[in-house]
Amino acid sequence: MDFSLTDEQRALTELGAQIFKDLSPLERLKAVEQSESGWDQTLWAELAKAGLLAASLPEEYGGSGGGFLDLCLLLQEQGRRAAMVPLVPTLAGAALPLVRFGSKAQKDRWLRDVAAGKTILSAALTEPGADPREPVTRATPDGAGFRLTGVKSGVPVAHAAAAVVVPARTPDGRVVVFLVDPKAAGVTLERQRPMNWEPQFRMRLADVKVGADAVLGPLDQGAAVLDWIVDRVTVALCAQASGVGAEALRLTAEYASNRKQFDKPIAMFQAVGQRMADTFIDNQAVNLTMLQAASRLADELPSPKEVAIAKFWAADGGNRIGHTALHIHGGISIDVDYPVHRYFLWLKTIENTLGAATPQLVRLGERMAAEG
């Protein structure tokens, strides 16, 4: 597979890198993490102004006509700066599913405002103790609509979202995906504190009434819709991990080259050098498996194995990258005024979102067994 970028993709990457670099200095990151909103609205507005929020959306809705791979390239640059903006939930979790499965009314309602940076969306894919592809939230038929009851956890920026993608299961066992207003009657949001300070919420649904117009995609194909969404959010997280790992590696190499013991840079010590080499290989694996999965998903090719492999490397390789960064930096790595700890926390958060390394191997093994 050819991973060469087009001229447009290179321009997108360069512009995104410059904006994230200019607007995400260390002091700004700390201020955003401690703010009530928990995400950088100024940076979001600049990304919209530069057309980057629209890069993966169709031209008819104010986009640039790109696709999922374009989004992943932007997410890599976000990861390099550990910038707190809701690109994954808004674009991978909701906007691209709307492009693929939404009705004309649903697209008209949200996509143009997403491209312009005026609307935030999110996706509630995680439930306590449940596989993201097997939701236990109940969707009980009620006239032409449904009533939703259940608990979702780790829902990003739900407090700022105009709508949240909510998978649920009907009494006859079918999966249905809904677009739910987080301010609707019966919805309760409780703030959670993940390791990387992303604003996440426990979303409690107590007999929440939704109409037939809230269903995303064909009513009888909800499981396929949910698989489509989970695959793309998973690989979007891998794209973030690729950028986070690359910057953690760069910071660690720089530190090891400048930190001296016995009048020599510690990078010259064999044990340090070997560990840095292993970390470089891990990050290359994270990046290449992500690109393979993202490229296939962008072309709508069946990719269950590629998605599982990419998330395995983001989780397993990302874990080693994060720990290597901390260990080589030594005591300074736990100083919150020094940037490297932030990359470790992002890698750990990504590792444990939508399945860590072992669940990916189980899924991969089941797929290989099924294929004989």
Q: What CATH number is given to the structural domain containing 353?
A: 1.20.140.10
Question: What phi and psi values does residue 340 have, to the nearest 5 degrees?
Answer: -70, -30
Question: What residue type is assigned to position 315 of the chain?
Answer: A
Grouped pLDDT means (10 residues each) for the chain, 372 residues: 81 97 95 95 98 96 94 98 98 98 97 98 95 97 96 98 98 97 98 94 98 96 98 98 98 90 86 94 98 96 96 98 95 86 96 96 92 81
| pLDDT given at position 1 | 58
Pair (192, 246) in one structural domain: no
Pair (147, 212) in one structural domain: yes
Pair (101, 128) in one structural domain: no
| Residue 25 domain boundaries | 7-119
Partners of 208 in the beta sheet? 148
| pLDDT given at position 372 | 76
User: Could you tell me if 297 and 235 are in contact, meaning their C-beta atoms sit under 8 angstroms apart?
Assistant: yes
Number of domains comprising the chain: 3
| pLDDT given at position 308 | 97
| Residue 99: CATH number of its domain | 1.10.540.10
Query: Of 197, 220, 243, which residue sits at a domain end?
Result: 220
Q: Would you tell me how many other CB atoms lie within 10 Å of the CB of residue 268?
A: 13
Question: Is residue 198 in a domain?
Answer: yes
| pLDDT given at position 4 | 81
Question: Is residue 2 in a domain?
Answer: no
How open is the CA angle 242-248-253, to the nearest 5 degrees? 125
How open is the CA angle 278-280-282, to the nearest 5 degrees? 70
Question: Is residue 1 in a domain?
Answer: no
Pair (228, 366) in one structural domain: yes
DSSP state of 160: G
User: Could you tell me if 152 and 178 are in contact, meaning their C-beta atoms sit under 8 angstroms apart?
Assistant: no
| CA–CA separation, 341 and 318 (whole Å) | 14
| Residue 169: CATH number of its domain | 2.40.110.10
Query: Of 119, 148, 183, which residue sits at a domain end?
Result: 119
Which token pair is 135? 């939701």
Pair (344, 242) in one structural domain: yes
Pair (249, 353) in one structural domain: yes
Q: Would you tell me how many other CB atoms lie within 10 Å of the CB of residue 78?
A: 24
| pLDDT given at position 161 | 98
